[in-house]
Structure 1
Amino acid sequence: MEFMEGRSILVTGAAGFLAKIFIEKILRVQPNVKRLYLLLRARDSNSAMLRFDTEIMSKDLFRVLKEKHGGYLNSLISQKIRVVAGDITCEDLGVKDSLLLEEMIKEVDVVVNLAANTNFDERYDISIGINTMGAKHVLNFAKRCEKLKVLLHVSTAYVCGEKEGLILEKGYKMGETLNGARGLDIDAEKKLIDDTLKSLKAENCSDDLIKSKMKDLGIQRARRYGWPNTYVFTKAMGEMLLGHLKNEMPVVIIRPTIVTSTYKEPFPGWAEGIRTIDSLAVGYGKGRITCFLGNPNTIIDVIPADMVVNAMMVAMAAHSNQSDETIYHVGSSVANPLEYASLQDYGQRYFQKHPWINKEGKPVIVGNVKVLNSMESFQRYLAIHYLLPLKGLEMVNKACCQYFQDRYLDMCRKIKFVLRLVELYGPYLFFKGYFDDMNTEKLRRAAAQVGEEVESGTFCFDPKIINWEDYFINVHIPGVVKYVLK
């Protein structure tokens, strides 16, 4: 891609899943990039460099790049990459080296904000610091960049909350809420956090209690205004700040849906961390899930990570020097919908053919999962199959043999695990929305007309080409088992 040749690009959240794929892709397809400034949360440059070596370059993701460049790779890295110690929760991105900060202000052409805290129930103070105020600090820094062509911010499609029907690629106005409730004010939310923390500390609350209270506060505030969890609420507020404060700056917001392992590049199936749907597949494979809640006909919108990165790169080039804000949904629910029942089927078929080997070295034999389509039927099933047996085991646990004690503990773990997944992911297993991707489709067509390889080549981000059965059974689930579960 010619746009990136000779450019200097700042990447925040550089140790994240998408960021690593983005970095690898640029170095592999456009080694003539001028420089990549990689912002990593760290105390100093030595700590940042250690994170770069251990959390980025040591990953198997970079093996194709290493094979391509061989002994020259270290030279390429030293020429093209500048590791920056910083923190987007602070002004000036927390960069303490004033000379480096001035260099970045003079040199950076593109800012890519990939820093985020994706925990659904993170502490409210932490989540708002990164996802909301972090977006503001990145914007303020981008405004100071003398050569800036575009700011690209990665959000999430699920800032829509639990909306139904066609969800448009449109932004949020300051103070806009999903349920019509009035009074959403980001400064007031920050003051509420500060006052709550001050009050808890004045009462000499333990760190664990403060953590719990801050998590509860995040969920309460999110639901007050119509969002299901702290993550999507704070990401929505981050979008609000960008739209409100950007002035004439070219801003692109990428909203991926559920991001899965790589489809094609640098090789199929690379994954990192247990993502939303993987929690269900892994729990099933390990024998921890025999029933779950959900509508088998619900569309689960997933998109491979390399397609998200390709869309980011094409969007960067398309919006260079344009004084607008454009939002792109990068997903599959319109172009190539995937039903929850199919996803469940793929997981069962994979783990029945390739069973998980437990700590004792024995294969975990899995059967069918009973999917219940209402909370009432789910609670009834739990009571009959788990809670009543558990009550009986509890009575004999202390007096009986090790077998009953083990069964008691195992059932406790299973119930806790399933309830936790239901709490976090329940809203998405009955999700009735699908994501309009008209802007993304226009971007694909425009890029194809100017010769970019977006159909099935280097910069493809078209979900229509994916065969979900082949992808999940032969690429994604094996990738999760190999790279995440090891």
Structure 2
Amino acid sequence: MEFVNPLSFLKDKTILVTGATGFLGKVFVEKILRIQPNVKKMYLLVRATNAKSAMKRILDEVYVEKDLFNVQRDIFGANFKSFISEKVVAVAGDVSEVNLGVQDSKLMEELYKEIDLVVNSAATTDFDERYDFSFNVNTMGALNVMSFAKNCIKINMVLHVSTAYVCGEGSGLIPEKPFYNGETLKCTCRLEITEEKKLIDEKLNQLQAQGAAKNELTSTMKELGIQRARFYGWPNTYVFTKAMGEMILGKYRDNLPLVIVRPTIITSTFAEPFPGWTEGLRTIDGPIAGYGKGKLTFLLANPKAICDMMPVDMVVNSMIMAMTANTRQSSQIIYHIGSSMRNPIKMTNVHKFARQYFIEHPLINKAGKPIKVCKGTLFKTTASFYTYMRIRYVMPLKVLKLISVFDKKYKDVCIGHGKKIKFAMRLVDLYKPYMLFKGIFDDTNSQKLRMKVGKSGLVDAFNFDPKSIDWEDYIINTHIVGLVKYVLKG
């Protein structure tokens, strides 16, 4: 793996990026344009009806309104928009469709001639997304991206963003190894991806023939995804369809260099373009926000379990260095991008640091008063959690239902409480594999890459070493500060 300077590597390159309107995609695009303004062109594939609406979406969702690009606005000043217009081309399309959904044949020919690198970060990340939606984007989308890349004349490589949790509910040391086609996490039978596609189509046809309402169709397809995932050993539809996507890429890449980056939990920026930028309630941020608002007083999470997370800018740095190091290698390589191996942090410490932050900087309620946070309780087993839920919520609900038999005014209250409990238990069922996770992600390949970066003198510019993170300082002074500023809006 001979080292090449990433700035030299990116100069005059033309890159196709899918998922550019997503959290990781935005940070990736920002970094490329900031460190190498002499990149030739960045084609960003976005869902839109035409090129004009695609560009409008890119400008509205990525560049115009986002603080993420403030550094570049300061650099270019009044020329910022013209720079973007020169370097960025929005392409109306969809990874779930053949030819990436690009309708303009002239544009397609242009892409085939110009593209050097393909970065696929498009994904639907809901754990219980409709099986058909998740399969089309995460599995068939990977195939469509690879098919496109193989038609590109100058193609150097494909970089695919997956997730470390394609390992399922593994424990111990989890290696950076690819999936073979048809592999399952339960050794009961072979996974046939074409049969899964057939199953989805048959179920959709059946539901449509029955005249199923939209909500029934959605709930049925969601349940189908969870059932199929668990049948083969994965805990949810998201990681199941991402694993199948990796299988397809490995099977159909031929000799095209393929880099698969598997991040763990992605969090706010550590340093670039400035600390703390984030958007949306991402994985651990939902519980942190709920706790800060005084609404979440307990959680199913083993205090001793490792919360494996990496700042988004470090993930992007790893992507750039992986592309640079593996171009034209005619091989497939996996990189785990996480912290559990080199700098682990336990759930109890995440809770401790969040508590410390909200005690010192409480959120303000609608009445203008500071919200006091409780100590909070972490349940380390599902048995202890379910026991608490029965005593605290289920049994009182049964009493309330009994009262409602004699006093009808409690009927709606019962229905409302019942729905909330059902929803809460659904979330617990989806998230418990990660709150009780026992695995450590081996990052041997990533460490070799970091050593190359260290010898090059580019550590500051392309840092993705988890050892450089002081978790207490990052969570208290960077991550939650950013969460409050950009998501909770103060």
State the shift of 1:183 in Å: 3.2
Residue 474 (1) aligns with residue 480 (2):
no
The question of 1:427 aligning with 2:433 is answered yes
> 1:463: which partner in 2?
466
1:47 aligns with 2:53: yes
How big is the shift at 1:342?
0.5
- The alignment status of 1:190 with 2:197, answered yes or no, reads yes
Rounded Cα–Cα distance in structure 2 between residues aligned with 1:238 and 1:92 = 17
Q: Is the 8 A contact 2:270 2:312 kept in 1?
A: yes
Does residue 178 of the first structure (1) align with residue 178 of the second (2)? Answer: no
| Structure 2 CA distance for partners of 1:96 and 1:232, relative to 1, 3 Å | same
Is the alpha carbon distance of 1:278 and 1:29 closer, same or farther for their aligned partners in structure 2, counting shifts above 3 Å? same
Matches within 5 A, 1:22-61: 22-57=28-63, 58-61=65-68
C-alpha displacement at 1:365, in angstroms? 1.8
**Selected match of 1:153 from 145, 153, 160:** 160
Are residues 144 and 13 of structure 1, via their aligned partners in 2, closer, same or farther at CA, if it must alter by over 3 Å?
same
Deviation of the 1:386 alpha carbon: 2.6
1:327-338 equivalences under 5 Å are 327-338=334-345
Amino acid at match of 1:469: E
Q: Which amino acid aligns with 2:368?
A: G
8 Å contact from structure 1 (residues 288, 414) kept in 2: no
Q: What do the CA deviations read for 1:378-411 (whole angstroms, capped 9, x no partner)?
A: 12212222334444556668999x9x99998996
- 1:373 deviates by 1.9
The 8 Å contact of residues 55 and 89 in structure 2, kept in 1 or not, is answered as: no
State which of 268, 272, 286 in structure 1 corresponds to 2:293. 286
In structure 2, the partner of 1:108 is 115
Matched, 1:295 2:298: no
Report the secondary structure of 2:375's partner residue. coil
Size of the aligned set, in residue pairs, is: 481
Q: Could you say which residue in structure 1 is the equivalent of 2:84?
A: 77
* TM-score normalised according to structure 1 size: 0.95
The offset of 1:370, in angstroms, is 1.5
1:121 equivalent to 2:133? Answer no
Give the corresponding residue for 2:231.
224
Provide structure 2 residue ranges, at least 5 long, that are not aligned to the other structure. 1-6
1:97 aligns with 2:104: yes
Aligned residue identity for 1:302: M
2:89 is paired with a residue whose SS is strand
Amino acid at match of 1:465: S
Which residue of 168, 171, 174 corresponds with 1:164?
A: 171
Which residue identity lines up with residue 71 of structure 1 in the other structure? A
1:315 to 302, 316, 322: 322
Do residues 215 (structure 1) and 222 (structure 2) align?
yes
CA distance, structure 2, for counterparts of residue 388 and residue 405 of structure 1:
16
Say if 1:475 and 1:396 are closer, same or farther in 2 by CA, change over 3 A. farther
**Structure 1 residue 375 and structure 2 residue 378: aligned?**
no
Give the letter for the 2:484 counterpart.
V
Greater shift after overlay, 210-219 or 348-357?
348-357
Distance in 1 (CA, whole Å) between partners of 2:195 and 2:395 is 47
1:247 corresponds in structure 2 to 254
Shift of 1:371: 1.5
Contact 1:88/1:137 (<8 A) preserved:
yes
1:89-119 CA deviation, whole Å, 9 max, x = no partner?
A: 1111111111111111101100000100000
Task: State whether residues 181 and 224 of structure 1, in contact with CA within 8 Å, keep that contact through their aligned partners in structure 2.
Answer: no
- Indicate how the Cα distance of structure 1 residues 223 and 210 shifts in structure 2: closer, same or farther if over 3 A, else same: same
Corresponding residue of 1:203: 210
- 1:110–1:335 CA distance, 2 compared to 1 (3 A): same
Deviation at 1:299, TM superposition (A): 0.7
Partner of 2:11: 5
Give, in whole Å, the separation in 1 of the partners of 2:296 and 2:427: 10
Alpha-carbon contact 1:14-1:38 (below 8 Å) kept: yes
Give the corresponding residue for 1:268.
275
CA distance in 2, matches of 1:185, 1:73: 49
The one of 136, 142, 162 equivalent to 1:135 is 142
Is 1:444 the counterpart of 2:450? The answer is: yes
- SS state at 1:276 partner: coil
CA distance in 1, matches of 2:27, 2:257: 24
Residues 132-164 of structure 1: per-residue CA shift (max 9 Å, x gap): 000000000000111111110000000000011
Deviates more, 1:243-252 or 1:70-79: 70-79
Q: What TM-score, normalized to structure 2?
A: 0.94
Residue 306 of structure 1 corresponds to: 313
Kindly state the Cα deviation for residue 283 of structure 1 after the two structures are TM-superposed: 1.6
Counterpart code for 1:45: A
Indicate the SS of the match to 1:105: helix
| Distance in 1 (alpha carbons) for counterparts of 2:446 and 2:434 | 23
3-state secondary structure, aligned to 2:284: helix
Counterpart mapping for 1:411-422 below 5 A: 415=421, 418-422=424-428
Output the amino acid matched with 2:450.
Answer: R
Aligned mates of 2:480, 2:413 — CA distance in 1: 29
Counterpart contact for 2:453–2:462, Cα < 8 Å:
no
Taking the aligned partners of 2:427 and 2:367, their CA distance within structure 1 comes to 26
Choose 358-367 or 20-29, whichever is displaced more. Answer: 358-367
Pair 1:409–1:67, CA change in 2 (3 A): farther
RMSD of aligned alpha carbons = 2.0
Give how far 1:465 is off: 0.6
Q: Distance in 1 between matches of 2:438 and 2:115?
A: 41
